[in-house]
Structure 1
Amino acid sequence: MKRSPGTKKITSQSFRFFCNFALPSVSSTTVVVSAASAGLPIPATTSQSVPVASASAQLPGVRFHFTQEQTAMADALEIPVALRRTGNALKLQEHYTRYLALLEAEKKFKKMQKDGTWPGGLRLPVGRDIPNLFIGKSTWHDFWTKTFPHVAEYPEMVKWLSDEEECMETEELFGVKLKAYHFAELLAWVQNGGSLVKPKKGAAKDASAATSSTSKKASTSKKPAGSAKKVATSKSGSSKRKYSLNLFGLLGALVLSYYLDGLAGNLSFLAYMIALTGLSSQLALLLWMTFLIPHVLASPQSAPFPDISFQDFSDFIINNFGEKISLPTVFMMLLSMTNNTELLSLNFKQNPGPKATSWIKCLARAIIEQLGDNDAETLFSEHELSMFKNATARESNVSSLAVKLGGFSHLLGLYPYNNKQKFTGTLKHISHSSIQPALLICPNSSVCLTAGCGRCFLKQNTQTRHIPRVTLIKGTEVFKNVQLLSGYCNNCETIYYADHERTASTVNTEAMQLYLNSALYIKICQKLWVDRKFSSSVMNGIYHLHASTSGWGNYFNDTYGNDCITLSRRQVWAAFMQESIRQASEISGVDFVTRDVSSIEEVTEEAFAALGNGGLIQPAKGHACAECSQPYRATSDVVLNPNNDPSTSAQNTVQMRNVTMRVIDGMVNGTKHCAADGCIGDLLNYRGGALCRVHEHEFGDRCRVRDCTETLVRPTKACAAHQSVWNKYLLDHSAASLAGSKRMLNRQQENPEWNPRSEREVQPHDQPAPEPKKLKHFFGPATFYCVETICCPCGVVEAWAKFAKSESESNILAFMKKVYPTKESRPDYICIDKACKVLKHMAAQGHWDEWSETTRLIVDTFHYEKHWKEDVLCRKWCNPAPTDGSAPNLVIKAIASDGSTYDKRAFNTQACEQLNAWLGGFESVLKRMTPQNYNWFIHTMLSYHTRKVIARQAKKAAKVMQEEEGDDTEDDEAE
């Protein structure tokens, strides 16, 4: 990218400083370092306050500026001004103080989010928003995340970083005396287990190896002299036998080579002679025989594209086809020839001459059918067309074109005979690699689209020598060394790429990326781009096959991959993310905008915050079909209700809206979160970790067993007294133990005599759930309890949410309030497996009067059979199919295929159960995801599923309408 005018040259020191402390965007709010605020200590400058590595590149007087949004976030989190990011060089102690402030800020944000006290007009911080208030991106990823979370397990280092008076001396703590201690030394100190001195390894092993080698040498030197003579004698005998075998092998090779055909015999004999010089006769003979095999099998699998001059090609087309033949027709005919070499071989083997056989007539007929009558006429001259009209033979045009195709095949060299008219074998497949197009990736727009720019032209943003070269996957084809071009607007400084636009930073805003929904190509890694057909196939494969990203990548690599391209799991996930973001943006009518420098993890979190809609599925908004919306019935079709008031018959003349139903249910399939009590924060480490960043620091080096205050024994997570508990945890979570658990789940009906099955007491559905048991330890992470969904009876998903601890009545009621905030938005019926419990909870909390005006809660048919028959409330108010006519809109009359009538439930109450059966196929994929990936994946799959169901319902409705129109037509004809 070109440097803007007036930009100063960056020195090596300033470049190192920039890498460690990234610049935020400029704002009118200046952050100035002042005295320490109360509550968080600022380390004093003492002899132990050692600068970090980047301190050598100090730039005095540097001050960075927050954007207005960053300043508002810092004020909302009450971050002291002295601890906010300034860009100045900091000492290790000052870095650690800011890290402690970061933990306090994250804890405060979680509390504010839970209590609903976050400022309404301020965006919720996601990804790296809060760390950006303290430090730059490079320092955060390269140093803070790799050192400070692990320092908590070393109390002496915590004291030193906190600059306490009782801390150890610097040299004693690090174990090595240095002039300065940088982040690199701190990282090495943590990785070595609390010291910069690396333990010596293999000293004893080296000594034993030296001893064994010395003994071997001694034993070798002690061999008797007679044994040496025997060895010499055996060597001379073997050389004589080798000479005789080589002689016989040579004669055999000469005889066989004599009978072999020409070049093959000469080359094989030459290989044999070369092998004799360095190999034994047996190996040389084997090499000679294997050399003969590739002579037959190593022929190329495809032939090159026909290499003829354009003049010859043009003359043949002009002399043999009509004057109005078009370029597409010529290309179609040419590719039809090069893609049907087997058929040409069959044709010419049957008749090498110009006469057309039935083989090539089939090809001619196929070309005519594909072109259509109008375009097919351009294959013939006016004279030929007039002859066809007067011809008595059938398909005279096909025979004429077949003869022309035979001549065309001769011109292209697609003829299986040599000059001596000897058949050379079936024609090989023709390779089309030589006619592949030269592709370039460039912006879609040719003018600047920024308001006020006047749609000015875009100039190329990169100099020729700096144009990046990338790999492009288009469908299943791989193109290497593709040029990546970008455009630049001189007026607004916006940079246009093929998949996004980058706006320039201003005084109050950062540089941002605007994702283009109309992009033809999208970037999935630094040097790899794909087209939308490829990214769509990723989504389709994951949806229909329940495939993981690694599984889909392995499928592509095994099917279409080669030595030049191998897809990784992260690249497939990036393709899924980029495609799903654009589809969600297009449906929502919102352009997705993110910071210019964002990792895929941050993009995922920001995408869910911007497009997730709080769990509401956008395609389901306003959906109505025949399965989830029924005409209102004032009286029952099944039974005449004696309780009906005759005066209500006048209400039938009033137009009532259709009756609707929604089904609510949950599926136990959640991701991991912090194991600390009451915390659902993200894990610090998803590969073996159990706590979030805040609780990992609070536990420090303390034993992870509940209520234990002893120091843990590294590398375990338990103290000396609880090592047995730790070992049992490792055993229970080992591969062998998990295999046994899997067997128990897969074979639940087994009841061996040596391990009889015990019947587990099932918690009654209508009874209050017991209090969840507290964890005995915090060795492993906790799991979100379930995913709760709201579905229409037709299968359309309306909303979803995660329940952290349980599927309680209060959580269900809060979910219902979130999805249906107004009376007008509420359905007439809500079907829940525990509707009677939710009804009791609503009555106890005083919410039933509000909901009873619009909605009735019922139990789904499957769980209703398991509810207590003595429960009068459930039987009277939550019955999904009452037969007494009290709910005329739940049970209707239907006509069977034989014309008889039968009672039928008006709505499908098992819609969520059916959805859970499909969603359960992703269980093995979901349980390994981070919460950010989990949220976006669930939301994307449910949205994609909803669009599929809506499309299926539309096809079904169109088919019904077509059948009804057909019946009406038949009735009219009968009249």
Structure 2
Amino acid sequence: MVCSWTSATNLARIYNLDVPDASVRIQAPWSYQLQINTEQVWDAFFVHGLLLDCSSRNTILILDVSVPQDQRLHFALETRNQHMVGPGQKYWNHACNLCCAERKSPDGTPAALRASVVDGISIGRPCCSVHDCKEALSSQRDRFCYTHADMRDICVIVDCDDHIEPGHQTCSKADHRQLEVVGIIERTAMFQLKKRLERLNVTQPETAIMQDLSSSDDLPNTQEGCEGKSDEGNAKPRARFGRRRTHNEQLCVTSCGIIQGRATFYGSESPNGVRLFLHALFPTAKSVPGVIFHDNNCHVKKLINNLQDSHFDRCALPVDVFHMKSKHKESDEFCGRWCNPAHFPDLMVNDKWRFNSSAAEMTNAWFGGFQAIVQEMRVDRYEFFLDEMIQRRNEIIVADLQHQHAMPYQIPRNELLV
């Protein structure tokens, strides 16, 4: 799973193909089959992970055998997930020659400079359709959580508060009903295949698809009539017929590739969300790295200044080198003054960048491979699986750093969390 993003279904299939004659090894009749299925792979994965976690904490794994297996693991998974929030990852306090350098403090004494990179990736799971609601769904097929269950009877058109009509997802307004008709068409297999051809720039001489359909960010809108603005303005109604998914997974990665922490962002990748994520991940001033790269640090820095947040007073917040060169305007005086990496001389040595500010994007290339595996998982399993993959990958990275003579080590936690 860690190295090749293999799903539980394919793991079971590989095992069964590898031992097709296993049944002949049993001489006497036995009520159990020697082939395994996807559910057994997942049960083994979660139980094994929980046992390893309990062993590392010198605790005992206790499960209620009177409830079904999926419910039996829920409490244990939730407990482990809570332990991983903030500085819960085993290698949260990692340091090595590639992500930690020696510098001189203002008084001339030697000090350590640690570098981390923050970035998000669009891996999501089903969540409540109310913006930024973090309450878990009762079922993965639900659109709203228990608290917002009454929203199921409201028209799916954004900003419309009217009740739906029986058999429909929209109210009685003609333009809203037309959006529902177009949405049904766009959800057909033929329409989706046609759109896939368009994305691949494949020319098809004869088309049976409607040419007057346009789409918004969520689902298609209808637009009729001549050019120019209508009397009602040019705003188009938008709808969300399907389930909402979490916006992204935010990772904080050392410049050598160790993932220090992860958080789920529900509504957007806002500057305040990044600030709160860093607060939770580095709860004390001493634990905050000396430099944290982020592609939107100029807005994060502005927010920190406006809120007079002193938590990051000893931390440089530059934009990573790639985004600074290609996506930030030279005319932005604030960004150039506070977030230009070249403004910080400690980030360079012999006219070369000391740290790899693209470490998070490189890590996201690996992390994104799990989208197909986790996209329908419940919250407890989703969180546990991703944290487990991160922990396993960190162990592989540390072994690689040892082979590279990068001298990886862990800073004592009691020195950082004071």
Whether the 8 Å CA contact 1:618–1:943 is kept in 2: the answer is yes
Q: Could you say which residue in structure 1 is the equivalent of 2:222?
A: none
Per-residue Cα deviation, 1:400-447 (whole angstroms, up to 9, x for no partner): xxxxxxxxxxxxxxxxxxxxxxxxxxxxxxxxxxxxxxxxxxxxxxxx
C-alpha distance in 1 between matches for 2:34 and 2:183:
42
Q: Which amino acid counterpart does residue 927 of structure 1 have in structure 2?
A: Q
C-alpha distance in 1 between matches for 2:337 and 2:278:
22
Q: Which amino acid counterpart does residue 692 of structure 1 have in structure 2?
A: C
Quick one: structure 1 residues 751 and 740, their matched pair in 2 at CA, closer, same or farther if it must change by over 3 Å?
Answer: closer
Q: Which amino acid counterpart does residue 627 of structure 1 have in structure 2?
A: L
What is the SS of the residue equivalent to 2:341? coil
What is the SS of the residue equivalent to 2:190? helix
C-alpha distance in 1 between matches for 2:189 and 2:56:
44
User: Which of 710, 723, 737 is equivalent to 2:191?
Assistant: 737
The answer for unaligned runs of 5 or more in structure 2 is: 24-32, 217-234, 409-418
Quick one: structure 1 residues 822 and 616, their matched pair in 2 at CA, closer, same or farther if it must change by over 3 Å?
Answer: closer
What is the SS of the residue equivalent to 2:345? coil
Q: Could you say which residue in structure 2 is the equivalent of 1:679?
A: 133
What is the SS of the residue equivalent to 1:940? helix
Answering whether residue 367 of structure 2 is matched by residue 908 of structure 1, we say: no
Q: Report the CA distance between 1:751 and its aligned residue.
A: 8.2
- The structure showing larger relative contact order (alpha-carbon pairs under 8 Å, at least 6 residues apart) is 2
Whether the 8 Å CA contact 2:154–2:161 is kept in 1: the answer is no
Answering whether residue 95 of structure 2 is matched by residue 624 of structure 1, we say: yes
Q: What does residue range 373-392 of structure 1 map to in structure 2 within 5 Å?
A: none
User: Which of 55, 74, 78 is equivalent to 1:609?
Assistant: 78
C-alpha distance in 1 between matches for 2:165 and 2:281:
48
User: Which of 380, 397, 402 is equivalent to 1:949?
Assistant: 397
Q: Could you say which residue in structure 2 is the equivalent of 1:816?
A: 278
What is the SS of the residue equivalent to 2:293? strand
Q: Report the CA distance between 1:598 and its aligned residue.
A: 4.3
Q: Report the CA distance between 1:840 and its aligned residue.
A: 0.6
Q: Which structure: greater helix fraction?
A: 1
C-alpha distance in 1 between matches for 2:171 and 2:394:
51
Whether the 8 Å CA contact 2:295–2:320 is kept in 1: the answer is yes
Q: Could you say which residue in structure 1 is the equivalent of 2:45?
A: 576
Q: Could you say which residue in structure 2 is the equivalent of 1:876?
A: 337
Q: Report the CA distance between 1:727 and its aligned residue.
A: 3.9
The answer for unaligned runs of 5 or more in structure 1 is: 1-541, 635-647, 761-772, 894-902, 961-975
Q: Could you say which residue in structure 1 is the equivalent of 2:232?
A: none
Q: Which amino acid counterpart does residue 842 of structure 1 have in structure 2?
A: I
Quick one: structure 1 residues 874 and 680, their matched pair in 2 at CA, closer, same or farther if it must change by over 3 Å?
Answer: same
User: Which of 325, 347, 352 is equivalent to 1:890?
Assistant: 347
C-alpha distance in 2 between matches for 1:728 and 1:584:
50
Q: Report the CA distance between 1:725 and its aligned residue.
A: 3.8
Quick one: structure 1 residues 734 and 579, their matched pair in 2 at CA, closer, same or farther if it must change by over 3 Å?
Answer: farther
Per-residue Cα deviation, 1:112-165 (whole angstroms, up to 9, x for no partner): xxxxxxxxxxxxxxxxxxxxxxxxxxxxxxxxxxxxxxxxxxxxxxxxxxxxxx
TM-score, with length taken from structure 1: 0.35
Looking at CA atoms only, which structure, 1 or 2, has the larger radius of gyration? 1
Q: Which amino acid counterpart does residue 191 of structure 2 have in structure 1?
A: S
Whether the 8 Å CA contact 1:588–1:611 is kept in 2: the answer is no
Whether the 8 Å CA contact 2:50–2:76 is kept in 1: the answer is yes
C-alpha distance in 1 between matches for 2:337 and 2:155:
54
RMSD: 3.2
Q: Which amino acid counterpart does residue 323 of structure 2 have in structure 1?
A: H
Q: Could you say which residue in structure 2 is the equivalent of 1:797?
A: 259
Q: Could you say which residue in structure 1 is the equivalent of 2:412?
A: none
Whether the 8 Å CA contact 1:701–1:712 is kept in 2: the answer is no
Whether the 8 Å CA contact 1:690–1:778 is kept in 2: the answer is no
Quick one: structure 1 residues 928 and 880, their matched pair in 2 at CA, closer, same or farther if it must change by over 3 Å?
Answer: same
User: Which of 310, 313, 320 is equivalent to 1:860?
Assistant: 320
Whether the 8 Å CA contact 2:65–2:72 is kept in 1: the answer is no
Q: Which amino acid counterpart does residue 856 of structure 1 have in structure 2?
A: A
Q: Could you say which residue in structure 2 is the equivalent of 1:536?
A: none
C-alpha distance in 2 between matches for 1:720 and 1:742:
32
Answering whether residue 56 of structure 2 is matched by residue 587 of structure 1, we say: yes
Q: Which amino acid counterpart does residue 888 of structure 1 have in structure 2?
A: P
Quick one: structure 1 residues 629 and 774, their matched pair in 2 at CA, closer, same or farther if it must change by over 3 Å?
Answer: farther
C-alpha distance in 2 between matches for 1:959 and 1:860:
25
Answering whether residue 268 of structure 2 is matched by residue 806 of structure 1, we say: yes
Task: Out of 945-954 and 701-710, give the one that drifted further.
Answer: 701-710
Q: Report the CA distance between 1:951 and its aligned residue.
A: 1.7
Q: Report the CA distance between 1:915 and its aligned residue.
A: 0.8
Q: Which amino acid counterpart does residue 247 of structure 2 have in structure 1?
A: Y
What is the SS of the residue equivalent to 2:250? strand
Q: Which amino acid counterpart does residue 9 of structure 2 have in structure 1?
A: S
Per-residue Cα deviation, 1:589-628 (whole angstroms, up to 9, x for no partner): 4443444434443355433432222154432133111111
C-alpha distance in 2 between matches for 1:597 and 1:774:
53
Whether the 8 Å CA contact 1:671–1:926 is kept in 2: the answer is yes
Whether the 8 Å CA contact 2:143–2:152 is kept in 1: the answer is no
What is the SS of the residue equivalent to 2:183? helix
Q: What does residue range 327-476 of structure 1 map to in structure 2 within 5 Å?
A: none
Per-residue Cα deviation, 1:432-466 (whole angstroms, up to 9, x for no partner): xxxxxxxxxxxxxxxxxxxxxxxxxxxxxxxxxxx
Q: Report the CA distance between 1:875 and its aligned residue.
A: 1.7
Per-residue Cα deviation, 1:955-975 (whole angstroms, up to 9, x for no partner): 222899xxxxxxxxxxxxxxx
Whether the 8 Å CA contact 1:630–1:660 is kept in 2: the answer is yes
Quick one: structure 1 residues 943 and 599, their matched pair in 2 at CA, closer, same or farther if it must change by over 3 Å?
Answer: farther
Q: Could you say which residue in structure 2 is the equivalent of 1:538?
A: none
Quick one: structure 1 residues 667 and 842, their matched pair in 2 at CA, closer, same or farther if it must change by over 3 Å?
Answer: same
Whether the 8 Å CA contact 1:604–1:933 is kept in 2: the answer is no
Answering whether residue 152 of structure 2 is matched by residue 690 of structure 1, we say: no
Q: Report the CA distance between 1:818 and its aligned residue.
A: 0.8
Amino-acid identity (%)? 23
Answering whether residue 371 of structure 2 is matched by residue 923 of structure 1, we say: yes
Whether the 8 Å CA contact 1:604–1:932 is kept in 2: the answer is no
What is the SS of the residue equivalent to 1:944? helix
Quick one: structure 1 residues 798 and 597, their matched pair in 2 at CA, closer, same or farther if it must change by over 3 Å?
Answer: farther
Q: Which amino acid counterpart does residue 321 of structure 2 have in structure 1?
A: T
Q: Which amino acid counterpart does residue 811 of structure 1 have in structure 2?
A: G
Q: Which amino acid counterpart does residue 582 of structure 1 have in structure 2?
A: L
C-alpha distance in 2 between matches for 1:707 and 1:904:
57
Q: Report the CA distance between 1:659 and its aligned residue.
A: 1.0
User: Which of 6, 11, 26 is equivalent to 1:552?
Assistant: 11
Quick one: structure 1 residues 835 and 956, their matched pair in 2 at CA, closer, same or farther if it must change by over 3 Å?
Answer: same
Whether the 8 Å CA contact 2:100–2:114 is kept in 1: the answer is yes
Task: Out of 722-731 and 576-585, give the one that drifted further.
Answer: 722-731
Corresponding pairs, count: 367
Whether the 8 Å CA contact 1:671–1:927 is kept in 2: the answer is yes
C-alpha distance in 1 between matches for 2:339 and 2:346:
14
C-alpha distance in 2 between matches for 1:579 and 1:827:
33
C-alpha distance in 2 between matches for 1:701 and 1:816:
38
Whether the 8 Å CA contact 1:712–1:720 is kept in 2: the answer is no
Q: Which amino acid counterpart does residue 939 of structure 1 have in structure 2?
A: D
C-alpha distance in 2 between matches for 1:740 and 1:695:
36
C-alpha distance in 2 between matches for 1:616 and 1:670:
22
C-alpha distance in 2 between matches for 1:863 and 1:602:
45
Whether the 8 Å CA contact 2:77–2:381 is kept in 1: the answer is no
Whether the 8 Å CA contact 2:132–2:267 is kept in 1: the answer is no
What is the SS of the residue equivalent to 1:788? strand
Whether the 8 Å CA contact 2:153–2:163 is kept in 1: the answer is no
Q: Could you say which residue in structure 2 is the equivalent of 1:835?
A: 297
